Structure 1
Amino acid sequence: MKNMLKNMSFQWRVFLLLLIVFTLIMGALNEFVTHRINNYITDKVAEIAMNQAKIIASMDGIVEGVEQRDTEKLKKIADKISMESNFSYLVIGDEKSVRLYHPNPAKLGYTMQWNKPGAMERGESYIISSEGSMGLAMRAKTPIWDKNNKVIGVISLGYLNSKIDMWRSSQIFPLTSVLLIILFMLIFFSWQFSAHIKKQMMGMEPAEIARVQRQQDALFGAVFEGLLAVNTQGQITAINQNAQKMLKLDGPQKNLVGSLVQDLITPADYFLEASGTNRVDDLLMINGLKIIANRVGIWIDGEFQGWVISFRRHDEIHILSAQLSQIQQYVENLRTLRHEHLNWISTIGGLLQMKEYDRALKMVQSESSNQQSLIDSISSMFKNRLIAGLLFGKFHRAKELGLEMCFTPGCSLSAQPKPINENELASILGNLLDNAFEATLKNPDSNKIIECYISDEGQELVIEVSDNGLGIEPHISERIFTRGVTSKNNGGDHGIGLYLVKTYVDQYHGTVMLGDNEPCGTIFSIFIPKGKDGMKDEIS
């Protein structure tokens, strides 16, 4: 039996438990109500029988008949009363309980059965249930008094138990039927309830739910990113250790669950949106920490239940971004230089084979001087080595594409640009220059010149990149910095670069402006304030 219950599904165990409980409750209720009805009917019949017996004993005709021992008169009166009443039988006796009237004439002249000793002498009325001449019945016996208050006889009025049982059944059967109907309804609702519980448990058994919960706890703890789940009321429903550590939340994790997110995180708007779409790689500042967050909605049966937000520190992405930027820049530089040097070496090789030694030597000296001059020029303008390396690579990339990248006079960048850090600045410049290259290549009438200006000498960090492309179409110019919006039509993963540029600039309270270049193309101008208005100082 134990193994059978163990192997039974949770839904069936819940159903059987409810079935047993409801059956026991309804059975006990039925027994209690039946017992109360039986007692009520018994008491009521006894009361009615005694009242009827006393009324008959006080009738003048009965008193005169008993005094005169007129059995015919008594029979006539008793038969008439019996026809108009619902008692089972009526017996009339004298002062010695000898029958003067009986429904069965053969019983006349015999002493009544089951008399209470001394009751006649005391003039006592009483109820007795016993097996008599008419069968098992409840009898009400009361004395008959003459005008001188002397006991001259006795009335025995009885209700057969079979009739009382019939009355009991007529009252109990409907009640039992109703209770059975209620029991079947409870059984039905028990099954529906157990099915509902199973649905809420997504068809899983308690052991499976416990295992999933343990797996979830393990997954939450194993994930390197911070994880946070919030319901529609803004309450935290789950949080892992890394999220607690990054957000600097004190106390055990179990105490944080159920807390309002706005009480622990500032600002909390990102976590409290009642509707919206999933978000990927959003740059946020919460609890003084710059993070990159992803947000996914929780939906159950088509109803929105809240958000799951994963996030990681922005400076960790900076480290990775810097490493990737450097590697990509090295690869790009090497590829470009290799291509140029192959052509250059081929040319030198041809000159040497033609014994043009002086020209070959002059070419080597010229190329070396040009490369060193470019390096010196970029290094003198841009003290930050990461930015200088980026611009050196972009210069050769432009040359490879058949474009000319020019630096506007007055360019100047310190070794530690403010307020933005070098990784974010490299991302801004890289995206703007790549867009300028692509836009210029699309215009067959372009002069193939891309101009770049960078300066942090004043109160602002100023960046300007101009291309000679076809310009930005008016219908997307106002939305060009929105994620997913792009002027490119060659497919691929576009609509991200300018969104990141705008995000970085906004974080430092900067401004991005679009303008028309002459004679064609677009100018992107960025102004980021330095000093106390910058985000660096806000954070510190």
Structure 2
Amino acid sequence: MKKEYLHFPLRKHKSISFSARVFLLLLLVSIVLTLGLGKYFTDTAENRLMANIRSLAMSQAKLIASIESIVQSVKTRDIQKLKVIADKLNQDSDYDYVVIGDENSMRLYHPNQDKVGFKMQWNKPGALERGESYFIGGEGSIGNAVRAKTPIFDEQGTVIGVVSIGYLTKNIETSRSELFVQTGATFFGVLVILLFLSWAFSRLIQRQMLGLEPEQITQMVVVQKGIFEAVFEGVIAVDCTGRIININHNARQMLALSEPPNHLIGRSVSELITPATFFVHDIAVTQHDVICVFNGLNVIANRIALQDDNHLMGAVISFRSQNDIESLNAQLTQVRQYVENLRSLRHEHLNWMSTLSGLLQMKEYDQALAMIKGESESQQQLIDALRKQFFDKQVAGLLFGKYHRARELGLQLEFTPGCQLNSLPQQLTSTEFCAILGNLLDNAFEATLKNNRGNKQIELYLSDESAEFVIEIADQGCGFPSDMKEKWLERGMTTKTESVDGHGIGLYLVASYVKRCNGVIIIEDNQPHGTLFSIFIPKVKIQND
């Protein structure tokens, strides 16, 4: 499924995306870092190369100066023997040339025989007299070179000559160039790797930000915060481990969490809410209108899983107080019932007025007067009887409307002798008690209309004479479905399978109100047809374990 995200227009001057800016910044940092490190390592390697060449040159010079045959040849000034020995050393060594002179710096050996017998160049003044070894650079007898010079001592420790080992500058530059190429290739490879990592990192940021710009994310966060706080229900978002991601004000208020949101976010939901099963178990499963208890508060909760590319990230739980919803449903039910009652009375009144108008037009005045008197007395007797038997005006008004509604439907609502109601259960309001009566009577009307074999009569018995409030409603309808007798009090269960109004709330409300009062509901088959609903509510509240 293709994702759709909320997009906000970017400012016009922001022509480069955030991921591109991150990539360019990382690219610049990588280039500067690579060049800086390359320069540092190149200079270090170059200095080390020169130090190694000097150390090697000096070691080779001292080694040659210590060879016995060299010492004897210099001492006896045997130039031919010295040439043989030096030529052989040139073949086995990596220096570019060697020059050997006497104590006066006169050349006894030189790779160029034409320069033998001439004074050696660039000697350090007084070095031969003190027996010092030293380095010297610059132009020499063969070319620009780095030279290591060390004295030759005889058996008595007297300086009798000097050995000069030279490394030509051009060969050193070749070694430097090779070193630079190797170092440059290495750091170029590092730069390529850094460029690839920068590109991959910028792409990762773009995916993590869902392709949005920082300005858009800021706007989304502000909007999300506003929506969270504007929702009347309590809303809590948790991650897969049950830790709180976000929580709104109504949730904290309903659950009596006095700490500010920044102290709650990141904490385990089990530390704050008891029980926390709905927040941590099977959160990948979406659930609607589930009755739960959070911190002792009865709520109706919904849960939606949070997923990204089929990867579970957590869940959002919204909930409202069950009492608020039940009260609202009860009030809506009563409004609907009052509207139906008024419609029934209006319909019956119109029929009565039409009959009366016909009698008057026919000049049957005596019969018209008798009809008016009879109808008035009948209505007054019903009103007086209801007011006498049922002290609550709302209950009496409901039964008066239901009586006329039954007549309009072709049914007959009978009040069983002995009906009386002097008080209501302490746990129920007049509206909630009327919701019980109204829903049961509506179901009885509908069931009776479905059965053509019954006598179209519904009987009502309502009494508080004993230690219990008793409500009994018997109809001659189609009977209560046997497969629903064990689960009829579940939310969503309804007998109105052919009606669009069959939302399954009526019986559920009846069950919840009776349960609140620790009452009992018994469903039995009526004779010869129909169903008998019996409700028993104790007058004294029984504490639940």
Would you call these one fold, judging by a TM-score over 0.5? yes
Counterpart contact for 2:334–2:435, Cα < 8 Å: no
Match of 1:159 among 151, 154, 167: 167
Structure 1 partner of 2:18: 10
Where does residue 3 of structure 2 map in the other structure? Answer: none
Shift, 1:491, TM fit: 5.6
| Aligned amino acid, residue 499 of structure 1 | Y
Which residue matches 1:502?
511
SS of aligned partner of 1:406 = strand
| Contact 1:127–1:140 (8 Å) recurs in 2 | yes
Partner of 2:432: 424
Which residue number in structure 2 is paired with residue 384 of structure 1?
A: 392
Name which of structure 1's ranges 142-151 and 515-524 shifts more when overlaid on structure 2: 515-524
Say if 1:175 and 1:363 are closer, same or farther in 2 by CA, change over 3 A. same
The answer to whether the Cα contact below 8 Å between 1:514 and 1:523 also exists between their aligned partners in 2 is: yes
**Does structure 1 residue 71 correspond to structure 2 residue 116?**
no
User: CA–CA distance in 2 between the matches of 1:413 and 1:164?
Assistant: 118
Query: What is the aligned counterpart of 1:98 among 89, 106, 116?
Result: 106
Q: Which residue identity is paired with 2:368?
A: A
Please name the residue that 2:409 is paired with: 401
Q: Displacement, 1:261?
A: 4.2
Matched, 1:122 2:139: no
> Does 1:517 find its partner at 2:498?
no
Q: Deviations over 1:235-286 (max 9, x none)?
A: 4433444444444443544444445444444554444444165455556665
- C-alpha distance in 1, partners of 2:284/2:402? 39
| 2:371 equivalent in structure 1 | 363
| 3-state SS, counterpart of residue 298 of structure 1 | strand
- Work out which of the residue numbers 163, 168, 178 in structure 1 matches 2:186: 178
User: Aligned residue for 1:449?
Assistant: 457
Q: Distance in 1 between matches of 2:34 and 2:516?
A: 69
CA distance in 1, matches of 2:17, 2:101: 73
Q: Is the partner of 1:533 in helix, strand or coil?
A: coil
Alpha-carbon separation, structure 1, partners of 2:357 and 2:112? 151
Q: Which amino acid aligns with 1:533?
A: I
Deviations 1:279-329 (A, max 9, x none): 555566655656555544433443344444445556665775565445433
1:57 to 51, 62, 65: 65
For 1:119 and 1:214, how far apart are their aligned partners in 2? 83
Give CA-to-partner distance per residue, 1:36-60, whole Å, 9 cap, x none: 3223222222222222222222223
- In structure 1, the residue matched to 2:445 is 437
Range 327-336 or range 307-316, more displaced: 307-316
**Distance change >3 Å, CA 335–CA 53, structure 1 → 2:** same
2:498 aligned partner:
490
Amino acid of the structure 2 residue aligned with 1:106:
D
* Residue segments in structure 2 that go unaligned for 5+ positions in a row: 1-10
**Which SS does the other structure have where 1:147 is aligned?**
coil
How far residue 336 of structure 1 moved from its aligned partner, in angstroms, is: 0.9
Q: How many residues align?
A: 534
CA distance in 2, matches of 1:180, 1:283: 65
Q: Which runs of 5+ in 1 are unaligned?
A: none
Query: How far does the alpha carbon of each residue in 1:73-102 deviate from its partner, in whole angstroms, 9 at most, with x for none?
Result: 223222222222222222222222222222
Please give the per-residue CA displacement for 1:491-529, whole angstroms capped at 9, x wherever unaligned: 635342233333444444444444333333344444445
8 Å contact from structure 1 (residues 385, 415) kept in 2:
no
Residue 112 (structure 1) aligned to one of 93, 110, 120: 120
Q: How many Å separate the matches in 1 of 2:154 and 2:225? A: 96
- TM-score norm. by structure 2 comes to 0.84
- CA shift in 2, pair 1:404/1:180, >3 Å: farther
User: Which residue of 2 is the match for residue 32 of structure 1?
Assistant: 40
CA-CA distance at 1:353 after TM superposition: 4.3
Alignment CA distance shift 1:153-1:301 (3 Å): same
Q: Aligned-residue CA RMSD in angstroms?
A: 3.5
1:144 to 139, 152, 158: 152
Q: Give the Cα separation in 2 of the matches to 1:307 and 1:428.
A: 36
Report what 2:6 is aligned to. Answer: none
- Secondary structure of 1:363 counterpart: helix
Work out the CA distance in 1 between the residues paired with 2:167 and 2:501: 99
| CA contact 1:318–1:423 (8 Å) conserved in 2 | no
Deviation track 1:93-124 (CA, whole Å, cap 9, x = no partner) reads 22222222222333322222222222212222
CA shift for structure 1 position 142: 1.6
Change (3 A) 1:272 1:93: same
Q: 1:419 to 1:319 in 2, by over 3 A?
A: closer
Q: What secondary structure, in the 3-state scheme, does the structure 1 residue paired with 2:410 have?
A: coil
In structure 2, the partner of 1:200 is 208
SS of the equivalent of 2:488 reads: coil
1:148-181 superposed Cα distances (whole Å, 9 cap, x missing partner): 3322222111223343344445555444433332
Distance 2:13 2:349 in 1: 81
With over 3 angstroms needed to count, the CA separation of the structure-2 counterparts of 1:491 and 1:336, relative to structure 1, is closer
Give the counterpart of 1:211 among 200, 204, 219.
219
Following TM superposition, by how much is the alpha carbon of 1:212 offset from its aligned partner in structure 2, in angstroms?
2.8
Q: Is the 8 A contact 2:284 2:315 kept in 1?
A: no
Measured at CA, do residues 192 and 460 of structure 1 come closer, stay the same or move farther in structure 2, by a change above 3 Å?
farther
For normalisation by structure 1, the TM-score amounts to: 0.85
Counterpart Cα distance in 2 of 1:443 and 1:157: 127
* Structure 2 contact 414–459 (Cα < 8 Å) conserved: yes
Q: Which residue of 2 aligns with 1:88?
A: 96
CA contact under 8 A between 1:419 and 1:529: conserved in structure 2?
A: no
Distance 1:318 1:486 in 2: 17
What is the distance in 2 between the residues matched to 1:429 and 1:200? Answer: 57
Q: Which deviates the most, 404-413 or 65-74?
A: 404-413
Deviations 1:180-205 (A, max 9, x none): 32332222222222232233333222
Partners of 2:284 and 2:312 within 8 A in 1: no
Distance 2:225 2:331 in 1: 33
Greater shift in the superposed pair: 304-313 or 125-134: 304-313
